[in-house]
Structure 1
Amino acid sequence: MKVKRIVTNIRTEDLAAARTFYEDVLGLEKWMDHGWIATYGTDARMDVQVSVASEGGSGTPVPDLSIEVDDVDEALNRMKQAGFQIEYGPADEPWGVRRFYVRDPFGKLINILAHKP
């Protein structure tokens, strides 16, 4: 048996709020919308990972979700322009990532990161 996919499900009564954060700002495509569930994604190949942690690193809380992007500073600017409050960072961490924390419209703490070259 092999794991083929891992999907994160976020509970909300306001599915439309996801569009701004996940589609408009982060650039994911809406793949499915049944009225009670909307799924956003990308065709880019990704690795499957599940992390467990006692903290988020550098004394931060454990994020609910980590999203790796190709340009953290562009993502940061887009979040700010869309009116999302940055809760941590941007920070260049000693383990080789640049990142920031932001809350999505549903209160989930999101770690936006890129590995430094």
Structure 2
Amino acid sequence: MKVTRIVANIAAADIAAARRFYGDVLGLDILMDHGWIATYGAPAQMSVQVSVATEGGSGTPVPDLSIEVDDLDAALEGMRAAGFAVEYGPADEPWGVRRFYVRDPLGKLVNILSHRRATAPPCPTIPGH
């Protein structure tokens, strides 16, 4: 599994608590660690975005952080195996994502998501398409 996008910064009294969640389960590397700040990431180029919302969609609370992954089922299995309780989902949302919510060790609500692949209807003029 690889993370393809992270959205947000997290304030924490103890940055070491984040290692199990972001490093061990999500598989992010520590790119920088100065003791007072640890930056997790991956060698892949990532999109950077900031979202502002009144709700999290489908009547859910606004998550503190959204992390897009390439394999949602693997992320879900990893979170459950590590003992992190899923608070919402997994759910296929009408806007084209499959996702679940989980709390990190710092108490932040994290939206783990994957975009569903669109399946085009067969083309009547080109057999097999």
Per the TM superposition, whether the score is higher than 0.5 is yes
Provide Cα deviations, 1:42-72, integer angstroms capped at 9, x if missing partner.
1211222111111000000000110000011
d(CA) in 2 for partners of 1:95 and 1:8?
21
Residues 8 and 64, structure 2, Cα contact 8 Å, conserved in 1: no
Q: Residue 92 of structure 1 aligns with which residue?
A: 92
Q: Residue 103 of structure 1 aligns with which residue?
A: 103
Q: Residue 3 of structure 1 aligns with which residue?
A: none
- 3-state secondary structure, aligned to 2:78: helix
Bigger radius of gyration, 1 or 2?
Answer: 2
d(CA) in 2 for partners of 1:56 and 1:7?
14
Q: Residue 55 of structure 2 aligns with which residue?
A: 55
After TM superposition, the structure 1 = structure 2 runs for residues 61-80 of structure 1, keeping only pairs within 5 Å, are 61-80=61-80
Percentage of pairs with the same residue:
75
Structure 1 residue 103 displacement after superposition: 0.5
The one-letter code sitting in structure 1 at the alignment partner of 2:64 is D
Query: So what's the TM-score if we normalise by structure 2?
Result: 0.82
- 3-state secondary structure, aligned to 2:105: coil
* CA 7–103 in structure 1, closer or farther in 2 if over 3 Å, else same: closer
d(CA) in 2 for partners of 1:7 and 1:84?
20
List alignment gaps of at least 5 residues for structure 2: 1-5, 118-129
- 3-state secondary structure, aligned to 1:105: coil
Q: Residue 82 of structure 1 aligns with which residue?
A: 82
Instruction: Number of aligned residue pairs: give it.
Output: 112
- More deviation in 104-113 or 13-22? 13-22
Structure 1 residue 104 displacement after superposition: 0.5
- More deviation in 73-82 or 36-45? 36-45
- More deviation in 95-104 or 37-46? 37-46
Q: Residue 8 of structure 2 aligns with which residue?
A: 8
List alignment gaps of at least 5 residues for structure 1: 1-5
